[in-house]
Chain A
Amino acid sequence: MIERTPILNIVTHLILIFGLVVILTPIWLAFVAATHTLQAVNSHPIEMWPGDQLLINLREAWAQSDFGPKFVNTLIVSTGVVLGKITLACITAFSLVFFNYRGRIVIFWMIFITLMLPLEVRIVPTYAVAANALSPFQTIMDAIGLTSLINMISGIEVALEWNLLNSYTGLILPLVATATGTFLYRQFFLTIPDELVEAARMDGAGPLRFLWDVLIPLSKTNIAALATIMFVYAWNQYLWPLLVITDRANYGMVVVQLSDLVPDQLTTGGGTPTWHLAMAATLVVMLPPIAIVIFMQRWFVRGLINTDK
């Protein structure tokens, strides 16, 4: 819709600018706080302009939080979530859209319902499963009497156990197993004309060949969008790593480390709050997601311009 209404234009711009200010002010304040000394940061009224302590604060925060290995950990987990998510979403949607089998609709709705159950809602059962990933199978086997049957025949007590606590797998899997990406892909796959599927069949391409040669190249922009969203989502995870990782030295994640720097009654013990360090660390932690968004945005804008459709 194109309208020539100068007043409306001004109003919409004002709303945009207002939104920008609301978003940028806290970031600006964080940046300013990160550039001052402990005294300056806690002075009253608060500083509005940057000081000269940025590098010193960054170094201090980096060392205190042991950010080196934690960044590597977080990068591994985030990449794992992105790759796992793209693969899972792609093949699930592929199955749901291009194959016709019994129970397809039921499965579709079951996946759909998980959208309403984010990790935070089902955190207790998810933790139970993470503590022993095979416990659902154990429960099923117990329920149908298979365990006691095996015990009777061979004398072996079946106790399945696969502990995911304190591992990358435990960090990654629960974040992968959600419906978001599946929907993105499903909607995209539904726009693929039937004729294209049929042309591939006539050309002799089987389903997997079609997926690999046609669908995946066509869904590049989808992959970019999903990768961006999932990377930021995984990077910002706090609650789940806090729960499953007790071995913080080996598997700590940056956001959890960051929370240790944020002053509260526990950390300062009544001492002067070290906001300058917390803010410096915040800036560092913020960088990778911002970099990813900027990089991917360029990428899928290019994808949109070159669109062949």
Chain B
Amino acid sequence: MDNDSLYFLSNWANVESGGNALLTMWNIFKHISIHHYLTVAAIIFTIGFYGVIVRRNAISILMSIELMLNAVNLNFVAFNQIWGLKITRAAFTSNEDVLTPVGQIFTIFIIIIAAAEAAVGLAIVIAFYRQRHSVKVEDADLMRW
């Protein structure tokens, strides 16, 4: 068990014994590092991947794909935490840090693309449903091998 988990547990024990819950949570949040975000993103991505592989309903697959893209968003925002503040030449002449919010910009683009994909995808699923009266992917079986 690493230090963070021990810290979390000790704080939690503090709450259980009647400590200030809000203050305790703040203490815990302070210890959330980039690794926690990345781990959550990886887990979400894996859940999305699993959903695409396992689910038979086209709408569920679409939702799983959105989950994968949201994991990417989380990744970008988290990485932006380390790369966002970049020491450039300006830092030597003035005390300014120059912001390069590439990750956050990319996140906005991915949100747009996910929206476009959902719009087109739902339309395609509806068009498919009108003809086959099903949204199950195993019913898309007119063409095989």
Chain B binds chain A: no
Residues of A within 8 A of B (CB): none
